[in-house]
Amino acid sequence: MNGERVLVTGGGGFIGSNLANHLAADNDVVALDDGYLGTPENVDPSVEYVEGSVLDDDLPTDVDVVFHLAALSSYAMHEENPTKGARVNVEGFVNVVEQAREDGCDTVIYASTSSIYGDRTEPSPEDMPVTVNTGYEASKLARERYAEYFQNHYGLSMAGMRFFSVYQGMEEGAESHKGDYANLIAQFADDIANGRRPEIWGDGRQTRDFTHVDDIVRGLELAADHELTGVYNLGTGEQYSLNTLVRELNDALGTDVEPVYEENPIPDDVYVHDTMADASKMREATGWEPEITFDEGVRLVCSQYE
Protein backbone atom coordinates (compact mmCIF):
# COMPACT_ATOMS: atom_id res chain seq x y z
CA MET A 1 0.00 0.00 0.00
CA ASN A 2 1.22 3.47 -0.83
CA GLY A 3 -0.43 6.87 -0.67
CA GLU A 4 -3.73 5.58 0.70
CA ARG A 5 -5.87 6.98 3.50
CA VAL A 6 -6.47 4.15 5.95
CA LEU A 7 -8.58 3.58 9.06
CA VAL A 8 -7.50 0.97 11.60
CA THR A 9 -10.14 0.29 14.26
CA GLY A 10 -8.68 -1.07 17.45
CA GLY A 11 -5.65 0.89 16.30
CA GLY A 12 -4.26 1.36 19.79
CA GLY A 13 -4.28 -2.36 20.53
CA PHE A 14 -1.74 -5.08 19.91
CA ILE A 15 -2.29 -6.04 16.28
CA GLY A 16 -3.91 -2.74 15.39
CA SER A 17 -1.02 -0.55 16.51
CA ASN A 18 1.54 -2.79 14.81
CA LEU A 19 -0.46 -2.47 11.59
CA ALA A 20 -1.08 1.27 11.93
CA ASN A 21 2.58 2.04 12.66
CA HIS A 22 3.74 -0.12 9.75
CA LEU A 23 1.34 1.44 7.23
CA ALA A 24 2.08 4.99 8.37
CA ALA A 25 5.47 4.89 6.63
CA ASP A 26 3.75 5.17 3.23
CA ASN A 27 0.12 6.04 3.96
CA ASP A 28 -2.13 8.47 5.82
CA VAL A 29 -3.31 6.39 8.78
CA VAL A 30 -6.06 7.01 11.33
CA ALA A 31 -6.19 4.76 14.41
CA LEU A 32 -9.54 4.56 16.23
CA ASP A 33 -9.62 3.09 19.73
CA ASP A 34 -11.86 3.36 22.80
CA GLY A 35 -9.04 2.70 25.26
CA TYR A 36 -10.38 -0.58 26.61
CA LEU A 37 -7.60 -2.82 25.25
CA GLY A 38 -5.58 -0.17 23.43
CA THR A 39 -3.64 2.94 24.35
CA PRO A 40 -2.33 5.93 22.38
CA GLU A 41 1.13 5.15 23.77
CA ASN A 42 1.31 2.23 21.32
CA VAL A 43 0.85 4.49 18.30
CA ASP A 44 3.58 6.40 16.46
CA PRO A 45 3.27 10.21 16.23
CA SER A 46 2.83 9.85 12.46
CA VAL A 47 -0.52 8.11 13.05
CA GLU A 48 -3.63 10.21 13.70
CA TYR A 49 -5.13 8.80 16.90
CA VAL A 50 -8.88 9.18 17.44
CA GLU A 51 -10.43 8.15 20.75
CA GLY A 52 -13.84 6.70 20.04
CA SER A 53 -16.00 3.60 19.83
CA VAL A 54 -16.97 1.53 16.80
CA LEU A 55 -20.55 2.16 17.97
CA ASP A 56 -20.25 5.94 17.48
CA ASP A 57 -22.35 7.74 14.88
CA ASP A 58 -19.66 9.88 13.25
CA LEU A 59 -16.61 7.73 12.55
CA PRO A 60 -13.54 8.76 10.48
CA THR A 61 -14.50 6.41 7.64
CA ASP A 62 -13.76 8.79 4.73
CA VAL A 63 -10.87 6.53 3.72
CA ASP A 64 -9.68 4.21 0.96
CA VAL A 65 -9.32 1.11 3.13
CA VAL A 66 -10.72 0.05 6.51
CA PHE A 67 -8.93 -2.50 8.68
CA HIS A 68 -11.51 -3.46 11.28
CA LEU A 69 -9.66 -5.08 14.18
CA ALA A 70 -11.61 -3.65 17.14
CA ALA A 71 -13.29 -6.34 19.22
CA LEU A 72 -13.88 -7.81 22.62
CA SER A 73 -11.37 -10.55 22.06
CA SER A 74 -11.71 -13.27 24.68
CA TYR A 75 -14.06 -15.93 25.96
CA ALA A 76 -14.16 -14.31 29.42
CA MET A 77 -15.17 -10.88 28.12
CA HIS A 78 -18.17 -12.32 26.32
CA GLU A 79 -19.24 -14.52 29.23
CA GLU A 80 -19.09 -11.56 31.57
CA ASN A 81 -21.37 -9.47 29.35
CA PRO A 82 -22.78 -11.27 26.30
CA THR A 83 -24.85 -8.28 25.22
CA LYS A 84 -21.85 -5.96 25.24
CA GLY A 85 -19.86 -8.57 23.32
CA ALA A 86 -22.50 -8.75 20.60
CA ARG A 87 -22.86 -4.98 20.43
CA VAL A 88 -19.15 -4.30 20.06
CA ASN A 89 -18.22 -7.25 17.84
CA VAL A 90 -21.31 -7.45 15.63
CA GLU A 91 -23.17 -4.14 15.77
CA GLY A 92 -19.86 -2.28 15.84
CA PHE A 93 -18.72 -4.16 12.74
CA VAL A 94 -21.91 -3.35 10.83
CA ASN A 95 -21.75 0.27 11.97
CA VAL A 96 -18.17 0.73 10.76
CA VAL A 97 -18.75 -0.96 7.40
CA GLU A 98 -22.00 0.90 6.75
CA GLN A 99 -20.43 4.29 7.48
CA ALA A 100 -17.44 3.40 5.32
CA ARG A 101 -19.74 2.36 2.47
CA GLU A 102 -21.67 5.62 2.71
CA ASP A 103 -18.36 7.52 2.59
CA GLY A 104 -17.32 5.73 -0.59
CA CYS A 105 -14.89 3.16 0.83
CA ASP A 106 -15.26 -0.24 -0.83
CA THR A 107 -12.38 -2.23 0.72
CA VAL A 108 -12.67 -3.67 4.23
CA ILE A 109 -10.28 -6.15 5.87
CA TYR A 110 -11.56 -7.46 9.18
CA ALA A 111 -10.55 -9.78 12.00
CA SER A 112 -12.30 -13.11 12.34
CA THR A 113 -10.97 -16.05 14.39
CA SER A 114 -9.52 -19.53 14.00
CA SER A 115 -11.34 -20.65 17.17
CA ILE A 116 -14.38 -21.67 15.12
CA TYR A 117 -12.41 -24.64 13.75
CA GLY A 118 -12.38 -26.25 17.18
CA ASP A 119 -9.73 -28.83 18.07
CA ARG A 120 -7.49 -29.59 15.12
CA THR A 121 -4.24 -31.56 14.93
CA GLU A 122 -4.42 -31.37 11.14
CA PRO A 123 -4.31 -28.12 9.12
CA SER A 124 -7.68 -26.34 9.04
CA PRO A 125 -8.83 -25.19 5.57
CA GLU A 126 -11.31 -22.34 5.26
CA ASP A 127 -13.99 -24.51 3.65
CA MET A 128 -14.22 -27.08 6.45
CA PRO A 129 -17.38 -27.15 8.60
CA VAL A 130 -17.18 -24.82 11.59
CA THR A 131 -19.10 -24.68 14.84
CA VAL A 132 -19.79 -22.06 17.48
CA ASN A 133 -19.37 -22.89 21.17
CA THR A 134 -18.80 -19.44 22.70
CA GLY A 135 -20.15 -15.93 22.43
CA TYR A 136 -16.79 -14.79 21.08
CA GLU A 137 -16.90 -17.33 18.26
CA ALA A 138 -20.53 -16.50 17.51
CA SER A 139 -19.69 -12.81 17.16
CA LYS A 140 -16.83 -13.48 14.74
CA LEU A 141 -18.89 -15.86 12.61
CA ALA A 142 -21.64 -13.24 12.54
CA ARG A 143 -19.09 -10.81 11.12
CA GLU A 144 -18.35 -13.23 8.31
CA ARG A 145 -22.04 -13.53 7.46
CA TYR A 146 -22.58 -9.76 7.49
CA ALA A 147 -19.48 -9.37 5.33
CA GLU A 148 -21.03 -11.78 2.85
CA TYR A 149 -24.11 -9.57 2.82
CA PHE A 150 -22.10 -6.39 2.21
CA GLN A 151 -20.15 -8.12 -0.52
CA ASN A 152 -23.13 -9.62 -2.33
CA HIS A 153 -25.56 -6.72 -1.89
CA TYR A 154 -23.24 -3.74 -2.29
CA GLY A 155 -20.23 -5.17 -4.12
CA LEU A 156 -17.73 -4.30 -1.38
CA SER A 157 -14.40 -6.11 -1.12
CA MET A 158 -14.75 -7.82 2.27
CA ALA A 159 -11.91 -10.05 3.51
CA GLY A 160 -12.12 -11.83 6.85
CA MET A 161 -8.79 -12.91 8.29
CA ARG A 162 -8.85 -15.90 10.64
CA PHE A 163 -5.87 -15.28 12.91
CA PHE A 164 -3.97 -18.10 14.63
CA SER A 165 -2.43 -17.29 18.07
CA VAL A 166 -0.77 -13.98 17.22
CA TYR A 167 2.20 -13.02 19.40
CA GLN A 168 5.05 -10.62 20.03
CA GLY A 169 7.01 -9.53 23.11
CA MET A 170 5.48 -7.73 26.05
CA GLU A 171 7.11 -4.33 25.52
CA GLU A 172 7.70 -4.04 21.78
CA GLY A 173 4.46 -5.92 21.19
CA ALA A 174 2.26 -3.20 22.68
CA GLU A 175 1.01 -5.67 25.29
CA SER A 176 2.50 -4.50 28.60
CA HIS A 177 -0.65 -2.64 29.67
CA LYS A 178 -2.98 -5.62 29.05
CA GLY A 179 -1.90 -7.97 31.86
CA ASP A 180 -3.79 -11.26 31.64
CA TYR A 181 -5.16 -10.31 28.23
CA ALA A 182 -1.69 -10.09 26.66
CA ASN A 183 -0.71 -12.81 24.21
CA LEU A 184 0.44 -16.06 25.81
CA ILE A 185 4.06 -16.01 24.61
CA ALA A 186 4.52 -12.47 25.92
CA GLN A 187 3.03 -13.42 29.29
CA PHE A 188 5.10 -16.58 29.68
CA ALA A 189 8.33 -14.88 28.58
CA ASP A 190 7.80 -12.00 31.00
CA ASP A 191 7.05 -14.41 33.85
CA ILE A 192 10.10 -16.58 33.23
CA ALA A 193 12.46 -13.64 32.66
CA ASN A 194 11.38 -12.19 36.01
CA GLY A 195 11.57 -15.46 37.95
CA ARG A 196 7.83 -16.08 38.08
CA ARG A 197 6.42 -19.49 37.25
CA PRO A 198 4.08 -19.27 34.23
CA GLU A 199 0.59 -20.66 34.82
CA ILE A 200 -0.57 -23.34 32.42
CA TRP A 201 -4.20 -24.43 32.37
CA GLY A 202 -4.37 -28.21 32.21
CA ASP A 203 -1.40 -30.46 31.46
CA GLY A 204 0.37 -28.24 28.94
CA ARG A 205 -0.02 -30.65 26.05
CA GLN A 206 -2.49 -28.36 24.26
CA THR A 207 -1.02 -26.90 21.08
CA ARG A 208 -1.18 -23.60 19.22
CA ASP A 209 -0.20 -22.36 15.79
CA PHE A 210 1.85 -19.41 17.05
CA THR A 211 2.07 -16.70 14.37
CA HIS A 212 4.27 -13.62 14.75
CA VAL A 213 2.50 -10.28 14.46
CA ASP A 214 4.87 -9.11 11.72
CA ASP A 215 3.60 -11.93 9.50
CA ILE A 216 0.01 -11.00 10.36
CA VAL A 217 0.64 -7.36 9.43
CA ARG A 218 2.09 -8.38 6.06
CA GLY A 219 -0.94 -10.58 5.44
CA LEU A 220 -3.37 -7.80 6.25
CA GLU A 221 -1.62 -5.39 3.90
CA LEU A 222 -1.54 -7.97 1.12
CA ALA A 223 -5.27 -8.63 1.59
CA ALA A 224 -5.93 -4.93 0.97
CA ASP A 225 -3.52 -4.73 -1.96
CA HIS A 226 -5.30 -7.63 -3.67
CA GLU A 227 -8.80 -6.48 -2.64
CA LEU A 228 -9.57 -9.97 -1.41
CA THR A 229 -13.06 -11.22 -0.67
CA GLY A 230 -14.11 -14.16 1.48
CA VAL A 231 -12.24 -15.62 4.46
CA TYR A 232 -8.56 -16.47 4.74
CA ASN A 233 -6.34 -18.15 7.32
CA LEU A 234 -3.24 -16.42 8.63
CA GLY A 235 -1.12 -19.03 10.40
CA THR A 236 2.12 -20.97 10.02
CA GLY A 237 0.77 -24.49 9.55
CA GLU A 238 2.80 -25.70 12.55
CA GLN A 239 1.76 -26.29 16.16
CA TYR A 240 3.67 -26.39 19.43
CA SER A 241 2.53 -27.40 22.89
CA LEU A 242 2.60 -25.03 25.84
CA ASN A 243 5.12 -27.33 27.51
CA THR A 244 7.37 -26.94 24.47
CA LEU A 245 6.86 -23.17 24.59
CA VAL A 246 8.01 -22.98 28.22
CA ARG A 247 11.04 -25.15 27.45
CA GLU A 248 12.02 -23.00 24.45
CA LEU A 249 11.61 -19.79 26.44
CA ASN A 250 13.83 -21.15 29.21
CA ASP A 251 16.47 -22.10 26.66
CA ALA A 252 16.39 -18.66 25.05
CA LEU A 253 16.50 -16.84 28.39
CA GLY A 254 19.10 -19.12 29.99
CA THR A 255 16.73 -19.91 32.85
CA ASP A 256 15.17 -22.99 34.41
CA VAL A 257 11.72 -21.91 35.60
CA GLU A 258 9.08 -24.61 35.91
CA PRO A 259 5.44 -23.83 35.08
CA VAL A 260 2.55 -24.13 37.49
CA TYR A 261 -0.26 -26.38 36.29
CA GLU A 262 -3.74 -25.20 37.22
CA GLU A 263 -7.24 -26.46 36.52
CA ASN A 264 -8.60 -24.97 33.31
CA PRO A 265 -11.36 -22.46 34.16
CA ILE A 266 -12.81 -22.80 30.64
CA PRO A 267 -15.15 -25.81 30.30
CA ASP A 268 -13.70 -28.73 28.32
CA ASP A 269 -16.59 -28.73 25.86
CA VAL A 270 -15.77 -25.18 24.70
CA TYR A 271 -12.01 -25.00 25.21
CA VAL A 272 -10.01 -25.20 21.97
CA HIS A 273 -7.20 -27.67 22.73
CA ASP A 274 -5.30 -27.66 19.42
CA THR A 275 -5.03 -25.30 16.44
CA MET A 276 -3.16 -25.40 13.13
CA ALA A 277 -3.71 -23.37 9.97
CA ASP A 278 -3.91 -24.33 6.35
CA ALA A 279 -2.83 -21.05 4.74
CA SER A 280 -2.68 -22.32 1.17
CA LYS A 281 -5.65 -20.17 0.09
CA MET A 282 -3.89 -17.00 1.23
CA ARG A 283 -0.65 -18.13 -0.35
CA GLU A 284 -2.30 -18.80 -3.70
CA ALA A 285 -4.17 -15.47 -3.65
CA THR A 286 -1.30 -13.19 -2.61
CA GLY A 287 1.97 -15.12 -2.32
CA TRP A 288 1.94 -14.64 1.46
CA GLU A 289 4.12 -16.97 3.50
CA PRO A 290 5.00 -16.75 7.20
CA GLU A 291 8.60 -15.58 7.44
CA ILE A 292 9.30 -15.81 11.19
CA THR A 293 9.78 -19.35 12.48
CA PHE A 294 8.74 -20.38 15.98
CA ASP A 295 12.38 -20.56 17.15
CA GLU A 296 13.19 -17.16 15.69
CA GLY A 297 10.02 -15.66 17.16
CA VAL A 298 10.87 -16.95 20.63
CA ARG A 299 14.33 -15.41 20.32
CA LEU A 300 12.84 -12.08 19.26
CA VAL A 301 10.46 -12.07 22.22
CA CYS A 302 13.25 -12.91 24.66
CA SER A 303 15.74 -10.43 23.22
CA GLN A 304 14.11 -7.57 25.15
CA TYR A 305 15.37 -9.13 28.38
CA GLU A 306 19.04 -9.22 27.38
3-state secondary structure string, 187-214? HHHHHHHCCCCCEEECCCCCEECCEEHH
Task: Answer yes or no: is pLDDT of 176 > 60.
Answer: no
Task: Answer yes or no: is pLDDT of 179 > 70.
Answer: no
Q: What is the pLDDT of residue 269?
A: 82
Q: 46, 58, 63, 45: which is closest to 8 by C-alpha?
A: 63
Q: What is the pLDDT of residue 127?
A: 96
Q: What is the pLDDT of residue 75?
A: 76
**Max avg pLDDT among 35-44, 111-120, 207-216:** 207-216
Give the C-alpha separation, 245 to 251, whole Å. 10
Give the C-alpha separation, 9 to 110, whole Å. 9
Q: What is the pLDDT of residue 181?
A: 64
Task: Answer yes or no: is pLDDT of 9 > 80.
Answer: yes
- Portion of the chain with pLDDT greater than 90, in percent: 83
At residue 180 the predicted structure's pLDDT band, cuts being 50, 70 and 90, is low
Bigger pLDDT: 9 vs 268: 9
- Pairing mode of beta strands 48-51, 240-241: unpaired
CA of residue 212 relative to chain centroid, distance? 10
Q: What is the pLDDT of residues 271-282, one digit of tens each?
A: 889 999 999 999
Q: What is the pLDDT of residues 226-264, one digit of tens each?
A: 999 999 999 999 999 999 999 999 999 999 999 999 998
| 3-state class (DSSP) for residue 109 | strand
Determine the straight-line distance between the first and last CA of the chain, rounded to whole angstroms.
35
At residue 36 the predicted structure's pLDDT band, cuts being 50, 70 and 90, is confident
Phi and psi dihedrals of 185, rounded to 5? -65, -40
CA of residue 174 relative to chain centroid, distance? 13
Q: What is the pLDDT of residues 63-110, one digit of tens each?
A: 999 999 999 877 788 888 999 999 999 999 999 999 999 999 999 999
Ranges 14-28, 61-75, 141-155, 171-185: which has the least confidence = 171-185
Do residues 186 and 169 lie in contact, with contact meaning Cβ atoms separated by under 8 Å? yes
At residue 174 the predicted structure's pLDDT band, cuts being 50, 70 and 90, is low
Burial classification of residue 152, based on how many CB atoms lie within 10 Å of its CB (0-12 exposed, 13-18 middle, 19 or more buried): exposed
Q: What is the pLDDT of residue 126?
A: 97
Q: What is the mean pLDDT of the chain?
A: 93
Q: What is the pLDDT of residues 112-147, one digit of tens each?
A: 999 999 888 899 999 999 989 899 999 999 999 999
